[in-house]
Structure 1
Amino acid sequence: MTQKTAVVTGAARGIGLATVKLFLAEGRKVAMVDRDVEALDIAAEGLEGAVPIVCDVAVQDQVTKMAETAQDRLGRVDALVNNAGVADFGPIAETDFARWRRVMETNLDGVFLCSQELAPALAQAKGAVVNIASISGLRASTLRVAYGTSKAAVIQLTKQQAAEWGEQGIRANCVCPGPVDTKLALAVHSPEIRAAYHDAIPLNRYGTEQEIAEVIVFLCSDKASYVTGQIISADGGFESTGVGLPALRV
């Protein structure tokens, strides 16, 4: 049986690294893509079947080279997980065009570029694309004018990919994580912020990187062979609650 493969961007840490490890546990060979050279080397160390590739997904020439290297090293591409992203939060009044573009070029342009470059290989393998957006792409919030807009655009891009690439056998789905216990969240979310999120989330907790990765890997698997064009909120029920005022709960 031919060994299945995957390409995961933003693979040096967090949800990306958790996804890589699940793919490897399934027996896949995985291209780990990240622009942080040191973090990527550390993350890939000891992971049998992992192929680290340094690439900034916001730079077209680097993405082209990454796609060529991935196909050469993997032999085929069965799945692409567009996970690389930046979280740059701030008020609208303090978001100049340079800040806007820094967010868009990674969170949106990077998804487009990687998908475009690897689409022929994915079509040949009848593969799957999973784009990582955010609950912020579904629900507006303060300080997220660039971030939230970029993630909303990723959601629409996913639907466009599913609509057009389905005829080539490519499935495209999108995962929207809610608050997740990453090192970044632990560093920037104060106890007050964490308590507020717990109150607003029906499951009353943050998710884990592993839980988000499980959804991603499922969508790339044959078990999801008739699932495409879907936006999956892995958020403990946060998006479903709407206003979700804790005082209104029974």
Structure 2
Amino acid sequence: MTRFQGKTVIVTGAASGIGKATAERFLAEGANLVAVDIERDALHTAFADGDRVLCHVADVGDDAACKNIAEAAGARFGGIDVLVNNAGVAPEGSITKTSPADFERVLRVNVLGVYALSRHAMPYLATARGSIVNTGSVSGLGGDWEKAAYNASKGAVTNLTRAMALDHGKQGVRVNAVAPTFTRTGMTEDYMDEKTVASFVERIPLGRIGEPEDLAAAIAFLASDDAGFISGVTLPVDGGLSASNGQPA
């Protein structure tokens, strides 16, 4: 498919996992790619600068860095058509086990990063009548044990997605999010033991955990003209997990 031929897409957290699969998907569909990550070596291992690729090392939790990302995309490719706010961190711990500094860091990356880059990209997106897709989580739709800061941040992303969809719809900018469940990424590699995976598989109706490509496909759909009348939606990409009310079989 060439749904994004000639369009410019920014993907944050592009060096690995969902971000890398998503960036590869947009490239395969013809897009110009601005691949953003804080990890320089991993980013340049995943992607090489070229005619259609600009690698940009940045911390999305920094407002000035987000301004630079948007300006670099505009200068290199002439505009921005799609923004995928995917970068995030996911520490463990209840509020009594999470330091104020760690809690603030999660909100800075997971929430401020979405706000700041969306804010600086908005003039370009409005010109293009473009699209934003945020990576939320099922943890933003319901709570987890020992994930207080992460739950708070993803809950904020869920409602920020709705707010931006309302505020910028008249400019032609659609804003949606995906909500993955347990997915095979670098962030979850410490939990890929047989027992943990089996516990998730038991609860997921489709009988497997998520793969980065599952999310990439959903993100590409929401960003495309195929979803041209969809905005303000957080789409669970969870194998049917959220269809349950939580009671045991």
Q: TM-score, normalised by structure 1?
A: 0.95
- Counterpart position of 2:40: 37
Matched, 1:204 2:219: no
1:160 aligns with 2:163: yes
- Whether the 8 Å CA contact 2:17–2:184 is kept in 1: the answer is no
Which of 171, 174, 179 is equivalent to 1:171?
174
Q: 2:10 aligns to what?
A: 7
Measured in 1, the distance between the counterparts of 2:183 and 2:200 equals: 11
Verify: 1:195 aligned to 2:198, yes or no.
yes
Separation in 1, partners of 2:208, 2:247? 15
Would the alpha carbon gap of residues 21 and 143 (structure 1) be closer, same or farther in structure 2, given more than 3 Å must change? same
The alignment partner of 1:53 has SS state of strand
Instruction: Provide runs of 4+ in structure 1 moved above 6 Å.
Output: none
One-letter code of the match for 1:3? Answer: G
SS at match of 1:243: coil
AA aligned opposite 2:108: E
Q: Secondary structure at the match of 2:125?
A: helix
Given that residues 48 and 55 in structure 2 are in contact (C-alpha distance below 8 angstroms), is that contact kept between their aligned partners in structure 1?
no
46, 53, 61: which one aligns with 1:58: 61
Counterpart in the other structure of 2:115:
112
* Structure 2: tracts of 5 or more residues without a match: none
Counterpart of 1:184 in 2: which secondary structure?
A: helix
Q: CA deviation at 1:66?
A: 1.4
Query: Percent of aligned positions with the same letter in both sequences?
Result: 38
Are 2:246 and 1:243 aligned? yes
Does the CA contact (< 8 Å) of 1:7 and 1:79 recur in 2? yes
Shift of 1:2: 7.5
2:132 — aligned with what? 129
Are the equivalent residues in 2 in contact too, given 1:11–1:34 (CA < 8 A)? Answer: yes
Match of 1:149 in 2: 152
Where structure 1 has 5 or more consecutive residues not aligned to the other structure, the ranges are none
- How many positions carry a matched residue from both structures? 246
Deviation at 1:194, TM superposition (A): 1.2
Residues 200 and 244 in structure 1, CA contact (< 8 A), matched pair in contact too: no
Shift, 1:186, TM fit: 3.1
Q: CA deviation at 1:67?
A: 1.2
Tell me by how many angstroms 1:242 deviates.
2.0
Structure 2 length-normalised TM: 0.95
**For each residue in 1:147-167, what CA deviation from the matched residue of structure 2 results, as whole angstroms up to 9, or x when unmatched?**
011001000000000001000
Q: CA deviation at 1:46?
A: 7.6
| Higher mean displacement: 73-82 or 37-46 | 37-46
CA RMSD of aligned residues (A): 1.5
Equivalent-residue separation in structure 1 for 2:178 and 2:190 (angstroms): 23
Offset of residue 191 of structure 1: 2.0
Q: By how many angstroms is 1:47 displaced? A: 7.1
Residues in 2 aligned to 1:189 and 1:28: alpha-carbon distance in whole angstroms? 33
Q: Once the 2 structures are TM-superposed, how far is the Cα of residue 103 of structure 1 from its aligned partner?
A: 0.6
Contact 2:23 2:35 in 1 (8 A): yes
Partners in 2 of 1:175 and 1:78 — Cα distance?
Answer: 18
Distance in 2 (CA, whole Å) between partners of 1:76 and 1:168 is 15
Q: Which stretch shifts more, 83-92 or 101-110? A: 83-92
Inter-CA distance 244–183: structure 2 relative to 1 (3 Å threshold): farther
Counterpart code for 2:155: A
Contact 1:126 1:168 in 2 (8 A): yes
